[in-house]
Structure 1
């Protein structure tokens, strides 16, 4: 019985001591409240701390960087181009006491960030042309596409005077003074993604298709012109080769005919009678056959050799 009376107070004391001790981690900072009101200074250094049990409460807040990811929204640029803008930011709690008294927790802070950062993003996007949000310098694009350069030269894309990097910096600078009242420091703001709205996408894609068709038609016309040029050169070369070959053939044929005539002339001069006889035989062979009929006089030159043959056959031989 005595042991029971001793244990109960010890347990109560142990619970009181346990509830009066709290630990602050390296990534945390603590505000101690009493009946809902903050008391003392924030505990930002890691270590072991004490508070009144049951009366005082500890409120933990992260000390490291926190992520804010905004909802994508449709925003018109200064040149009336509607785009979808997706933004994200990094922030941290630099004054946990003010943070606790104003937004109370991270969820409340996110709602404030939504309002402030989204408003700043909309203000800057609508104040500048699209090219300012997309690019940061006037550096020549290092992309290359055959045939597209001629089209780009005819369309003015505008000059970058501010640039994307300075726009995001302006969004941060415009948002930060409003966040100071909540004990929040905005570390960085970035445009995660920019895209055309669906209606603008269709017109952009249609223009890109038309440009590619124009490039393809240009290549086709150039190819057809080059093909006609090659075909013309081919026909010209064929005619040149044919004419040269015909001339060479005629020269060879002429020389051959001249040599043949010379041979015939020499042969004819050696024995004109025999030559005449051979030519007559050729004529008989070609002109006289079973289906041919000739009516000639007896004194025709064509039958001269037949008549001479008959005369020799009739004449008696002399021994």
Structure 2
């Protein structure tokens, strides 16, 4: 009884071990390749519970979902001689697990193949186009901070014939042709992560941008000096005009005043010629005589007439007082 029990237990254990080795589950996210002594014999792409020969056959699982590939930046010289770094990423999947297993074996080796294929396609395609074609999709007019930069853009008359989206699609098609029928890989999508100048070129780009801004600043400064000269010239001409008109007006007023004074003098002389002659003579005396003046005059001269009459009147007054 005891011996039979032991045999039964051993048989059950062997049966369970064989059953465990012959049953396997394929998850909905996975697909599998069954190998026998290292050689593939069957592929399973649908999820479920399956049987295999225990100890002889093995199961190799591969992901059925979209896988991510992210490449290193590639240094590329564009058609217009711009040295840029292009970073790309892609989505791929294992479309034929049997071919993938026989050609590559593991997903890491599949990533390595994509490194070579996609980066080669990126270099071949991007180098055939100008930097603007790679960067832009349309001929939409760009907005600039200064009018000069906008005019410089208009002068170049840039026309985008392909555009970034079409170039990326061309990269995907070239890489797909390189992978087609060889590795069981389907390249679903390729995208550009970033485009930048390589580090060695960036200082030159900044120098070029700086020189462009300096040129614009010099243009503004030159235009400012020209406008300043025009304004100062206009101010000077206006000042000279005002001064000229002021001088002319002043001369006209002075002339009118002199004419009015002459008229008044003439009327005064006409109304009282003796008094006018007397005042003018006194003015003459005042302007010609001083303490050091010595005059020799005849008694019948006009210049001595009022002095003589003044002396006579003074003598009569003295006699009257006496």
TM-score over 0.5 for the pair: yes
Give the whole-Å Cα distance in 2 for the aligned partners of 1:288 and 1:16.
Answer: 158
Task: Give the match for residue 294 of structure 2.
Answer: 295
Asked whether the equivalents of residues 32 and 43 of structure 2 are also in contact (C-alpha less than 8 Å), the reply is no
Q: Which runs of 5+ in 1 are unaligned?
A: none
- Tell me, yes or no, if structure 1 residue 170 matches structure 2 residue 180: no
Which secondary structure state, in structure 2, belongs to the residue aligned with residue 194 of structure 1? strand
Give the aligned CA root-mean-square deviation in angstroms: 3.8
How far residue 109 of structure 1 moved from its aligned partner, in angstroms, is: 0.8
Give the whole-Å Cα distance in 2 for the aligned partners of 1:310 and 1:129.
Answer: 118
Moved more, 26-35 or 188-197: 26-35
Task: Give the match for residue 44 of structure 2.
Answer: 42
The structure-2 alpha-carbon separation of the partners of 1:313 and 1:26, relative to structure 1 and needing over 3 Å to count, comes to: same
Task: Give the match for residue 315 of structure 2.
Answer: 314
Asked whether the equivalents of residues 30 and 44 of structure 1 are also in contact (C-alpha less than 8 Å), the reply is no
The structure-2 alpha-carbon separation of the partners of 1:269 and 1:19, relative to structure 1 and needing over 3 Å to count, comes to: farther
How far residue 255 of structure 1 moved from its aligned partner, in angstroms, is: 1.7
Moved more, 51-60 or 189-198: 51-60
Give the whole-Å Cα distance in 2 for the aligned partners of 1:244 and 1:15.
Answer: 124
Which secondary structure state, in structure 2, belongs to the residue aligned with residue 147 of structure 1? helix
Give the whole-Å Cα distance in 1 for the aligned partners of 2:23 and 2:213.
Answer: 72
Which secondary structure state, in structure 2, belongs to the residue aligned with residue 84 of structure 1? strand
The structure-2 alpha-carbon separation of the partners of 1:160 and 1:153, relative to structure 1 and needing over 3 Å to count, comes to: closer
Task: Give the match for residue 28 of structure 1.
Answer: 30
Give the whole-Å Cα distance in 2 for the aligned partners of 1:8 and 1:285.
Answer: 163
Aligned residues: 311
Task: Give the match for residue 143 of structure 1.
Answer: 143
* Alignment deviations for residues 20-46 of structure 1 (CA, whole Å, 9 cap, x no partner): 66555443334444554445332443x
The structure-2 alpha-carbon separation of the partners of 1:257 and 1:117, relative to structure 1 and needing over 3 Å to count, comes to: same
Give the whole-Å Cα distance in 2 for the aligned partners of 1:112 and 1:310.
Answer: 142
Which secondary structure state, in structure 1, belongs to the residue aligned with residue 147 of structure 2? coil
How far residue 193 of structure 1 moved from its aligned partner, in angstroms, is: 2.7
Asked whether the equivalents of residues 143 and 150 of structure 2 are also in contact (C-alpha less than 8 Å), the reply is no
The structure-2 alpha-carbon separation of the partners of 1:302 and 1:179, relative to structure 1 and needing over 3 Å to count, comes to: same
Task: Give the match for residue 223 of structure 1.
Answer: 224
Task: Give the match for residue 69 of structure 2.
Answer: 68
How far residue 187 of structure 1 moved from its aligned partner, in angstroms, is: 1.1
Asked whether the equivalents of residues 35 and 41 of structure 2 are also in contact (C-alpha less than 8 Å), the reply is yes
Give the whole-Å Cα distance in 1 for the aligned partners of 2:124 and 2:142.
Answer: 31
Task: Give the match for residue 89 of structure 1.
Answer: 90
Moved more, 61-70 or 212-221: 212-221
Matches within 5 A, 1:106-255: 106-137=107-138, 139=139, 141-144=141-144, 145-148=146-149, 151=152, 160-180=160-180, 181-198=182-199, 200-255=201-256
Which secondary structure state, in structure 1, belongs to the residue aligned with residue 192 of structure 2? strand
* Alignment deviations for residues 66-124 of structure 1 (CA, whole Å, 9 cap, x no partner): 22111112233345544322222111222223223322222111111111112222222
Moved more, 8-17 or 225-234: 8-17
Give the whole-Å Cα distance in 2 for the aligned partners of 1:287 and 1:198.
Answer: 98
How far residue 200 of structure 1 moved from its aligned partner, in angstroms, is: 4.7
Asked whether the equivalents of residues 61 and 96 of structure 1 are also in contact (C-alpha less than 8 Å), the reply is yes
Moved more, 145-154 or 264-273: 145-154
Give the whole-Å Cα distance in 2 for the aligned partners of 1:193 and 1:15.
Answer: 54
The structure-2 alpha-carbon separation of the partners of 1:36 and 1:269, relative to structure 1 and needing over 3 Å to count, comes to: same
Asked whether the equivalents of residues 74 and 123 of structure 2 are also in contact (C-alpha less than 8 Å), the reply is no
Asked whether the equivalents of residues 85 and 193 of structure 1 are also in contact (C-alpha less than 8 Å), the reply is yes
Asked whether the equivalents of residues 27 and 64 of structure 1 are also in contact (C-alpha less than 8 Å), the reply is yes
The structure-2 alpha-carbon separation of the partners of 1:80 and 1:239, relative to structure 1 and needing over 3 Å to count, comes to: closer
